[in-house]
Amino acid sequence: MGPNMIGTDTSQGKGQVLSNIVACQSVVEVLSTTLGPRGMDKLIVDGNGRSTISNDGATIIKLLEIVHPAARTLVDIARAQDAEVGDGTTSVVLLAGELLKLAKPFVEEDVAPQILVKGYRMACELALERIREIAVPVKRDDPVELRSLLEKCASTSMNSKLIQSQQEFFSKMVVDAVLMLDQEDLNEKMIGTKKVTGGGMQDSLLVDGVAFEKTFSYAGFEQQPKHFDNPKILLLNLELELKAERDNAEVRIDKVEDYQKIVDAEWTILFEKLDKIAASGAMVVLSKLAIGDVATQYFAERGIFAAGRVQDSDLQRMVSATGAAVQTTVNDVHGKHLGSCARFEERQLGEKRYNFFSGCSEAKTCTMLLRGGSEQFIAEVERSLHDAIMIVRRALKNQTIVAGGGAVEMGLARYLREQAKTIPGKLQLVVLAYAHAFEAIPRQLCDNAGFDSIDTLTQLRKRHAAGEIWAGVDIANESVTDNMAAFVWEPALVKTNLIAAATEAACTILSVDYTVKAAKHSDQLQSALPGVGPDGVPRGNHAGHRH
């Protein structure tokens, strides 16, 4: 049968596996130079002309718009790594690519992909067991020690990012932010980030509460007070505008006086609501819906601050910070429904005004205000901090760490080589290939920094053979060092997740030996079927003959 026997695009067998491997290789090539402290950034321009400069593997791979079906698997593992652990997105793609690259010669020599998959899975289990053995547990009872550990994990994550020059400043900020969260569920969504163009990186702030940009404001806003100490805060999901009542009903009238009554009634309804809000004792009123100009002026006269059209995410964080509950009516509002914070103020930041709610008693939330010269730059700072926040969360939840900088990978490569000796048959070669794949990460670290990778890897092999399990690449001094002592630390979970995800992806891609691309139209499919006409009627030598 020809390749196009049913109007579909097919490729199969060994050639298919090889072409899938080559496709994945090209994705890995793009990402590999972003790895490590000396990694380069990528500038990606999307179809709408928006440009993004990033060093974050998951961000780059999302923006690449990869079409090849097998290479799309790499996008999935990068996203999964980002969602699960937050960091190690470049490494996971690199490792999966290296596993595929080393599988290529086996496929060319007609080794069945099933054997490769079996060997890789076996090696993966051995590697994960080994990490659990050597990972160093962290003591939680000493808060000072715990804090310094978290800061080291955060700064290791920032080593390869744009904010490397300020990593001490930002690692403190990230650890403060994570320690402010509810320690039970550590929900990273409770850390708000706001990007404010202008100023330097060091002007970034961490607010122990909520800060958001001044919302759309009506006439009378200027007369409202702009700061309070210990104010009572009322959160609403309610519109305080005149037009609301009129829009909701159809009224037929004969006399002008009747119309006047309707207008008066509308004002009465609005003022009743406003009187109830004022009577509740709230000093700050925030609403998800609009607060109109009549209401704004009413509040200004009574020295109450009001802001309408507050974003839902900010309102949710206000609930978490102040202990207030969002009200959908102003009837029966009591003190227990109101929240409070130590200080409210409106301040100028860059070219915009921001509302700050700080010193919140219930605070299980905080806000990072990031500053920088350009929007591109701040967006990349935000992505870098997201990685660091996730790493600190993981270190708090799973208290075991390993050394970074290629140390774990070299250790695993050596361990698997030892283990391979005990495995008979072809699987031994597959496990050896898997062991070799780990060396791709320290090799890439060296290449990106401009070091002689062969020389460095030889030194690392020697150190690991001598039992130094934490020997890794020392980027600062172009040599090899004990990365556990040099405080290049990562949560063990990053590595276990990375290895499992990369192995799964490689095995999935190796298992595919046939691609069928379905034709767009069924009639096209019909007409291409041998012996069948476009209308589904059989044709050929016998068509039309009567027997």
What string of DSSP letters covers 471-495?
EEEETTTTEEEETTTTT-EEEHHHH
442: CB partners within 8 A, 6+ apart: 405, 406, 409, 410, 453, 456, 457, 460, 472, 473
Cβ atoms of residues 210 and 361 within 8 Å: no
Beta bridge partners, 490, equal 402
Chain centroid to CA 295: 40
Q: Is residue 344 classed as helix, strand or coil in its secondary structure?
A: strand
Cα(330)–Cα(321) distance, integer angstroms: 21
List of E strands, 249-376: 284-287, 305-307, 326-327, 339-340, 343-349, 352-358, 366-372
Cβ atoms of residues 111 and 14 within 8 Å: no
What string of DSSP letters covers 138-176?
---S-HHHHHHHHHHHHHHHHTTSGGGGGHHHHHHHHHH
400-403 sheet: strands from edge to edge: 136-137, 400-403, 489-491
Phi/psi at 211 (nearest 5 deg)?
A: -135, 135
Q: Which residues are catalytic?
A: 56, 89-90, 387
